[in-house]
Homo-oligomer: A and B are copies of this chain.
Amino acid sequence: MPRTPEANQRIREAQRAKILESARSVFARKGMETTITDIAAEAQISLGLAYRYFADKEAIFSELVKQTVPDDSAGFQELVEMPGTPGERLATLISSIVGARGQREPLEAHQLLQHALDAEAMPEEIRESLGKRYQMLLATMRQLIVEGQATGEVVLGDPDQLVAVMSACLDGLTRWALRDPEKFRTYVPDAQIVLRLFQPLTDEKKASEQS
């Protein structure tokens, strides 16, 4: 007696998800050097099975990107319109990338994008999609920085340069977090430490920090 179609459907979805999850993890760690064998091993399935679920390596990568990008992009828009001070929203943005406590998921997502932008051999379609998403991230960051400068929550200076430095900073932190999660959790517990670098010192803060 065959499995019910529903059971098969469930199996397929579970496997697909498992492959993608494994791929995300391995990609984040190894970058474009990731082999299908790596992914299959991580997912604890045979090499051939990976090909029943995805046409080729690129298909896995594409799906991974597709799964990651739209969600976040939508999120960017919301962030701008969200209630709260610009500084608070900027903190939320940063948290969404670095993760509140170094959880793997958002870190891996951001790292995935970085690798993809780096890679020589990346299908144009994906590259575009990623580029657009990255631009949106930067634009959102910029808007929040400008607003933050107006309210005094963010240090003064050329917003474009601040965006550049901040995004580089996030990239670097992400890589670090993936390389050595333990240490990361200890030294950079959350987004506040990053954000604070952009805050002008108020008298109040000075006082609290010195206490």
Contacts and interface: CB of A to CB of B under 8 A. Distances in A.
Interface stretch (A54-62, A68-76, A197-205): A197-205
Contact of A120 (B33, B167, B188): B33
A173 B179 contact: no
Contact-residue bracket for chain A: 35 or more
Given A157-B209, A170-B172, A201 B198 contact: no
Contact of A173 (B158, B168, B201): B168
A163 B206 CA distance: 19
Contacts of A179: 117-118
Contacts of A164: 173, 176, 184, 187-188, 193
A11 interface: no
A161 interface: yes
A30 interface: yes
Contact of A168 (B172, B196, B200): B172
Q: Which of A172, A184, A193 has the most CB of B within 10 A?
A: A172
A17 interface: no
Nearest to A201: B200
Contact of A210 (B156, B162, B188): B156
Contacts of A32: 33
